[in-house]
C-alpha cells in the first residue's frame, strides 16, 4: 500500500492502470459493464497524471523559491527567464490539450454519424428486400385472380386447352403489369434518394487539393 512514510514502497502509476486487464465475464453471467470500467480507469489515470504533474510543478516552485532565498544575485535573472519559459510551456501544453480534445470529439462525432448512416443503409437494404418479396407475392396473387376469371369460349381449340392458354396469358400480362408499376415507383423513389445523397456528399467533401512539392 501507499505510505507517505516509506517513499520506496510500490506506488500506483498511470502506466500500471493502463495495463490492468479484466477477465471477461463467463458466458451468460453478468459482469461489470466493460466500457464503464474502462472509462473509470481512464478517469483515474487522468487524475493520477494530474496529481503527479501538480507535484512536479510544486517541486519546481519549491526549488525556485529556495534558490531565491539562498540565492546568488546573478542567478536571479536566469531563474526568471526560465520561469517565464516554463509558464509558456504550460500555456502551450494546455492549448495543445484543448486542440486534442476538439480533434478527438470531432472524430468521435464523425464516427458516430458514419456508423448511424451505415445502420441506416443496412435497414434500407433489408426493407427493400422485404418489399421486393411483397411486390412479387402481390403480383402473383393478382395474376392468379386474373387467370381464374378467364371465361371459356366456343372457338375451334379444344375448350380446356384454350382456357389454359388464355389463363396463362392473362396471368402473365397482369403479373408483368403489376410488377412493372411497383418496380417503377420504387426505382424512382430510390433514384431521388441517391441524388440527395450524392448532393450532400459533394457538399461535405473538402476541396483542398494542393499540388505537392518535389521531394529532395
Partner 1 sequence: MDAQGLKDNFAQVAQHGDAVALFFYSDLFLRNPGLREMFSIGMSHQRDRLLSALGRIVAQVDNLPELVPFVRQLGADHRKFGVEALHYPEVGQSLVATLRYFSGAAWTEALARDWTDAYTLLAKVMVEAAEEDAKQRPAWWNARVIAHERRRFDLAVMRLVTDRPLPFQAGQSVAVEVPARPRMWRYYSMANAPRPDNTLDFHVRLIDGGPVSPVLVRAAVPGDWLKLGPPVGTMTFDERSGRDVLLVAGSTGLAPLKAILERIALSPAPPRVHLFFGARTTDGLYDLDDLTKRAAGSPWLTVVPAVSDDRAEGTAEQGVLADVVARHGLWRDHDAYVCGSPAMVDATTESLVRLGLGTDRIRSDKFADA
Positions that interact with partner 1 (CB under 8 A): 11, 13-15, 45, 48-49, 52-53, 56, 59-60, 63, 85-86, 88-90, 92-93, 96-97, 99-100, 103-104, 107-112, 114-115, 118, 121, 201, 205-206, 208-212, 214-216
Closest to partner 1 by CB, 25 or 52: 52
DSSP state of 28: T
As measured in angstroms, the least distance from the Cβ of 30 to partner 1 is 24
Closest to partner 1 by CB, 107 or 185: 107
As measured in angstroms, the least distance from the Cβ of 79 to partner 1 is 14
As measured in angstroms, the least distance from the Cβ of 27 to partner 1 is 18
Closest to partner 1 by CB, 115 or 127: 115
Nearest to 46 by CA among 88, 100, 84: 100
As measured in angstroms, the least distance from the Cβ of 110 to partner 1 is 5
Cell 517541486 locates to: 59
- What the block records as the C-alpha cell of 39 is 472509462
Tallying the residues shown for the chain, one arrives at 216
As measured in angstroms, the least distance from the Cβ of 136 to partner 1 is 18
Closest to partner 1 by CB, 156 or 211: 211
Show contacts of 122-125: CB within 8 Å, 24+ apart: none
- What the block records as the C-alpha cell of 5 is 512514510
Q: Chain centroid to CA 26: how far?
A: 28
Closest to partner 1 by CB, 92 or 133: 92
How many whole angstroms separate alpha carbon 192 and alpha carbon 127? Answer: 17
From the number of C-beta atoms within 10 Å of its C-beta (0-12, 13-18, 19+), residue 24 rates as: exposed
Q: Chain centroid to CA 129: how far?
A: 25
As measured in angstroms, the least distance from the Cβ of 123 to partner 1 is 14
Do the Cβ atoms of 13 and 48 come closer than 8 Å? yes
Closest to partner 1 by CB, 52 or 165: 52
Amino acid at each position: 500500500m501507499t505510505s507517505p512514510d516509506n517513499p520506496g514502497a510500490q506506488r500506483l502509476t498511470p502506466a500500471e492502470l493502463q495495463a490492468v486487464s479484466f477477465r471477461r465475464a463467463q458466458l451468460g453471467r453478468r459482469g461489470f459493464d466493460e466500457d464503464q470500467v474502462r472509462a473509470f480507469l481512464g478517469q483515474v489515470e487522468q487524475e493520477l497524471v494530474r496529481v503527479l504533474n501538480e507535484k512536479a510543478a510544486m517541486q519546481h516552485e519549491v526549488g525556485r523559491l529556495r534558490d531565491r532565498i539562498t540565492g546568488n544575485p546573478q542567478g536571479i535573472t536566469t531563474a526568471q527567464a526560465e520561469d517565464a519559459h516554463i509558464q509558456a510551456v504550460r500555456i502551450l501544453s494546455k492549448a495543445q490539450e484543448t486542440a486534442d480534445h476538439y480533434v478527438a470529439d470531432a472524430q468521435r462525432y464523425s464516427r458516430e454519424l458514419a456508423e448511424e448512416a451505415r445502420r441506416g443503409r443496412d435497414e434500407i437494404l433489408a426493407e427493400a428486400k422485404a418489399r421486393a418479396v411483397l411486390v412479387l407475392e402481390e403480383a402473383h396473387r393478382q395474376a392468379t385472380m386474373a387467370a381464374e376469371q378467364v371465361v371459356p369460349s366456343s372457338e375451334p381449340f379444344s375448350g380446356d386447352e384454350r382456357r389454359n392458354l388464355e389463363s396463362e396469358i392473362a396471368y402473365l400480362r397482369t403479373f408483368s403489369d403489376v410488377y412493372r408499376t411497383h418496380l417503377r415507383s420504387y426505382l424512382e423513389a430510390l433514384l431521388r434518394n441517391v441524388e440527395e445523397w450524392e448532393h450532400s456528399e459533394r457538399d461535405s467533401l473538402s476541396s483542398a487539393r494542393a499540388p505537392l512539392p518535389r521531394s529532395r
